[in-house]
Chains A and B, each alone.
Chain A
Amino acid sequence: MNSMNKIIEDIKSKYNVLNIEQPTKQQVSFDFESRDIHAILAYLKSIGWNQLTFLTCVDFIDDKEFQLVFILMNWETGITIQVRTRLDREKPLFKTIVPIFPGAKFYERDVHEFFGVEFEGNEDSKKGLFLELWDDIPPMRKDFDPQKYSDKKYAKRDYNVDFKKEGEER
């Protein structure tokens, strides 16, 4: 708990934190301006949060923003940190973090494919990964409706068969 307070105070004193939440007793989340992220990640890496556990994205369509979430793990203290930032949904651009965490390479590619966020400096990130021959907007965006896509793309199977009546053979 003590080390938890320490890291919160430390980050607050060094960076411009927009918001702090503590969803569990071993986890804390910070919101930052997107331009601060790289410095923060590098700093956190240098003080023990040296594992990028996860990088993902949330589409806050009502706010017209994407949120990038970086999850860092410190195995010595067991404290997980969520580093979060918001991007303009119309022009989702972000500088790659591969130089800080090489493991981010495929996460960035993943986020690009499913949300359309572009990572400058990670040229591979624009290549398709999971979705072969995808022909619509990035599917994890909230305005993508999979039911509509499927109805448009595939013939509907008719389920209007009557069920088997008692003792009836088909």
Chain B
Amino acid sequence: MGNKKNFFAPIKAWKYLVKKPISIPMEDIFENPREAADRYRGFHANDWEKCIGCGTCSEICPTNAIVMQEREELPDEDGSKPEKPAIDYGRCTFCGLCVDICTTNSLTMTKEYVHISKDVDDFYFLPKENGIHDIKYENAYVRDEVSELLDLKRYDMVGLEADERKDSFIEIVKGFSKETAIAEASRCVECGICTKTCPATMNIPEYILSIWKDDLEEGVDWLYKTNPLPGVCGRICTHKCETACALGNRGEAVSIRWLKRYIVDNTPEEDYEKVVLANVSKGGEGKVAIVGAGPAGISAGYYLRTMGYEVDIFEAMPLAGGVMRYGIPQYRLPDYSLDKDISFIEKIGVKIHTNTQVGKDIQLEELHSKYDVVFLGTGFFGARGLNIPNSDHKDVHLAMDFLPQVRDFARGVIKDIDVHKSAVVIGGGNVAFDVARSLIRLQEIKYGKSDVKLIALENEEQLPADREEYEEGMEEGIKYQLGCGPQEVMLDDKGNIKGVKGFKCLSIFDGQHRFNPQFDTSDVKMVEGTQVYVSIGQSPDYSYLDKELEEKLGITRGKITKIGKNRQVEGVDWLFAGGDIVQGPDVIHGIADGHEAAKAIDEYLMNGKNKKK
């Protein structure tokens, strides 16, 4: 480039002497700052209404600039933590990863970028909606689908299609493959809001991490810390954890329940046994009797045994498991899975005496005299009936009478159940769906076709059953009549049932949240069917208690009320209780109760004087 030396060339620059400068004057920098670009990564703003305190921003922060601060004024609820992120701008690099990964969309970065102070502590803020100076600035850097750092979609669980599954009791869900399980596990952000919400406070992020690391032995260890029935819970738990999961705010919750099941189903037997057996210690001395081998009883038994106590469980039925064995249908919870969980309970030395009904085969008083402590874990096995005209007809059945038969049918103990070609199920809970979906199967097996209708007071949004029950039931062919209150079982001239008459339900609860349904009597629905199954709730059976004890327990609406937080009956210090009869029917609550009671019993017995010998 023939650039010759030229003395005058540079002097041309002098023309800029008279031009307007393009730089920004000093005073404008503070008084009238230049507006930042639309994507500018300025100071943060955090919408407290949306923020759930999950702390994922703090996790991703490359410089540890974000610290979660606990705030007293915030409520401690399921699905959130009473914490908000505080940001140290002495460390912040303004990378915006916190915004990209925020699980709720609460965190953004604004166009605000001027902050001056001599005090270093002034650079440590808890941003609210209006940023750090309480001045509303326009949002600048926000996440979009490209900068997304979460994986919002669930990995598909393989299961049987509706027409493959509706004529048998084969388990529907097949379980994750290793690849899918690891992929699903990698979605977890380890915030722990699930743990907080789980009745049994299971170490969910920890066992999910074990799956991700492909270390299932460690996973089993985490499971048994709080739950001795992981195979059961991995299938039928009501999974409050998934409802609370932080990812559910913008996407789909992590499939926590199926991941748990993955650990149980895929850990090699030897590793499994090694972990479970290693938990037993020799600390405790004493004998505990447990009434009922349901979730609460088994859980209490397991933890007491791991503490070294001798445990005997008394169960009225021929097989252990309670509702897990005789309530929930096989297609959701197959026997082999329950057997596996219970076999480990027995392997560590818990003795389960089946076909032994307390109150009939053995008296409670006898248990009291032979054992140091008695734990009551009897369930809600009675059925609640519906008091409407003709509800005493022979073709009206109760859920809790019907479901044990279904289980026995599926395991081949009984050969036939008298199901008609058409049936009406009354109820909107999970149990009603168990009944309806079992009926579909029984009818398909018997007649090659099915006709099941389900009436519930609640409408689709209010339905207490799990969403997947509703959807899968629909796929299998259940016809719904929701928002309808049954008024009468209708009979034909020969006295056979021809259907159920109902009114449109306007509201279920009154102003004081009391159950008091209101109907539109002009809107009459006729639901046809020749059998009726009622599933509107379960009730307990306290016939094994004597009058005196029954009074001491203060039973109200079927539940024991005179009981402490540690599950010890007030005034009867050798007696503990838990599960359905304290909490109402729910498996995971039962397990949690059993664990709590075991800890309390241990404490009680360690107090030497409470032991008999």
Is A in direct contact with B (CB under 8 Å) within the complex? yes
Q: Count A-side interface residues using an 8 Å CB cutoff.
A: 7
Contact between A159 and B122, CB atoms less than 8 A apart: no
Q: Which residues from B are CB-within-8-Å of A159?
A: 67, 88, 124
For residue B269, CB closer than 8 A to chain A, the reply is no
Contacts of A166 in B (CB 8 A): 128, 134
Given contacts A166-B134, A167-B134, A170-B119, contact A161 B124 (CB under 8 A): yes
Question: Is there an interface contact between B128 and A164, defined as CB atoms closer than 8 Å?
Answer: no
Minimal Cβ-Cβ distance residue in A for B127 = A163
* Cα distance A162–B601 in the bound complex, in angstroms: 42
Q: How many angstroms between the C-alpha atoms of A164 and B121 in the bound complex?
A: 9
Please, how many angstroms separate the alpha-carbon atoms of A139 and B132 in the complex?
39
From B86, B121, B134, give the contact of A170 (CB < 8 A): B121
Please name all residues of chain B whose beta carbon is closer than 8 Å to the beta carbon of A164 when the two chains form the complex.
122, 124-126, 132
Cβ–Cβ contact A170 & B128, under 8 A: no
Give the shortest distance, in Å, between A68 (CB) and chain B (any CB): 30
Least CB distance from B42 to A in Å reads 17
A124 to B125, CA, bound (A): 50
Q: Please, which residues of chain A bring their CB within 8 A of the CB of B128?
A: 166
- Interface 0/1 of A128-170, CB less than 8 Å to B: 0000000000000000000000000000000101011011001
Q: Which residue of B lies closest to A163 (CB)?
A: B126
In the assembled complex, the Cα of A67 lies from the Cα of B391 at a distance in Å of 82
A161 engages B121 (CB within 8 Å):
yes
Q: Which residues of A contact B69 (CB under 8 A)?
A: 163
Shortest B185–chain A CB gap in Å is 24
Most chain A CB within 10 A, of B88, B121, B134, is at: B121
How far is B135's CA from A167's CA once the two chains are assembled, in angstroms?
11
Least Cβ–Cβ distance between B571 and chain A, in angstroms: 47
Identify the closest chain A residue to B128 (Cβ).
A166
Contacts of A161 in B (CB 8 A): 121, 124
Question: Which A residues are CB-close (under 8 A) to B124?
Answer: 159, 161, 163-164
Secondary structure dominating the interface of A = loop
| CA A166 to CA B131, docked complex, whole Å | 11
Q: In the assembly, what is the distance between CA of A164 and CA of B86, in Å? A: 10
Closest residue of chain A to B91, judged by CB? Answer: A159
Bound CA span A159–B69, Å: 12
Q: For residue A170, which residues in chain B have a CB less than 8 angstroms away from its CB? A: 119, 121-122
CB distance from A80 to the nearest CB of B (A): 30
In the bound assembly, the distance between CA atoms of A25 and B134 in angstroms comes to 55
A163 touches B134 (CB 8 A): no
CA distance A170 to B126 in the complex (A): 15
**Which residues in B have their C-beta under 8 angstroms from that of A167?**
134
State A170–B132 Cα separation when bound (angstroms): 14
Smallest CB separation, B61 vs chain A (Å) = 13
Taken together as a complex, chains A and B put the C-alpha atoms of A161 and B126 apart, in Å, by: 11
- Nearest CB to that of A158 among chain B residues? B121
Residue of A nearest to B126 (CB): A163
Query: How many Å lie between the Cα of A167 and that of B86 in the bound state?
Result: 17
Whole-angstrom distance from the CB of A49 to the nearest CB of chain B?
Answer: 34
B residues 415-434 near A (Cβ < 8 Å) are none
Closest A residue to B84 by CB, please name it: A163
B86 near A163 with CB under 8 A, answer yes
Which residues of A have CB within 8 Å of B125?
163-164
| B 106-129 contacts with A by CB, 8 A | 119, 121-122, 124-126, 128
Q: Which of A159, A163, A166 has the most CB of B within 10 A?
A: A163
Whole-angstrom CA separation of A136 from B36 in the bound complex: 46
Could you tell me which residues of chain B, from 132 to 153, have a CB within 8 Å of some CB in chain A?
132, 134
Q: How many Å lie between the Cα of A107 and that of B86 in the bound state?
A: 43
Complex CA–CA separation, A73 to B211 (angstroms): 42
CB distance from B47 to the nearest CB of A (A): 15
Q: Tell me, rounded to whole Å, the shortest Cβ–Cβ distance linking A153 to chain B.
A: 18
CB distance from B283 to the nearest CB of A (A): 36
Contacts of A163 in B (CB 8 A): 69, 86, 124-126
Chain A's nearest CB lies how many Å from the CB of B44? 12
Instruction: Considering the complex, give the chain B residue whose CB is closest to the CB of A167.
Output: B134
- A151–B122 CA distance with the chains assembled, in angstroms: 24
User: How far does the alpha carbon of A161 sit from the alpha carbon of B132 in the complex, in Å?
Assistant: 16
* Contacting residues, chain A, for B122 (C-beta < 8 A): 164, 170
C-alpha spacing A161/B121, complex, angstroms? 7
CB distance from B536 to the nearest CB of A (A): 51
Contact partners of B134 in chain A: CB under 8 A: 166-167
Q: What's the nearest-Cβ distance from chain A to residue B574, in Å?
A: 48
A19 → B minimal CB distance (Å): 25
Query: Which residues does chain A contribute within 8 Å of B119, judged by CB atoms?
Result: 170
Can you list, as one digit per residue, whether each of B490-532 has a CB less than 8 Å from chain A (1) or not (0)?
Answer: 0000000000000000000000000000000000000000000
**Bound CA span A163–B128, Å:** 12
A166 to B86, CA, bound (A): 13
Q: What 0/1 pattern do residues 387 to 402 of B give for CB contact below 8 A with A? A: 0000000000000000
Q: Nearest chain-B residue to A165 (Cβ)? A: B126
Flag B328-366 by CB within 8 Å of A: 1 or 0 each.
000000000000000000000000000000000000000
Please name the residue on chain B nearest to A164 by beta carbon.
Answer: B125
7 A-B pairs with C-beta separation under 8 A: A159-B124, A161-B121, A161-B124, A163-B126, A164-B124, A164-B125, A166-B128
- Can you add 18 more A-B contacts, CB < 8 Å, to A159-B124, A163-B126, A166-B128? A159-B67, A159-B88, A161-B121, A161-B124, A163-B69, A163-B86, A163-B124, A163-B125, A164-B122, A164-B124, A164-B125, A164-B126, A164-B132, A166-B134, A167-B134, A170-B119, A170-B121, A170-B122
B residues with CB within 8 A of A: 67, 69, 86, 88, 119, 121-122, 124-126, 128, 132, 134
Closest 9 CB pairs of A and B: A163-B126, A161-B121, A163-B86, A163-B125, A163-B124, A161-B124, A164-B125, A166-B134, A159-B88
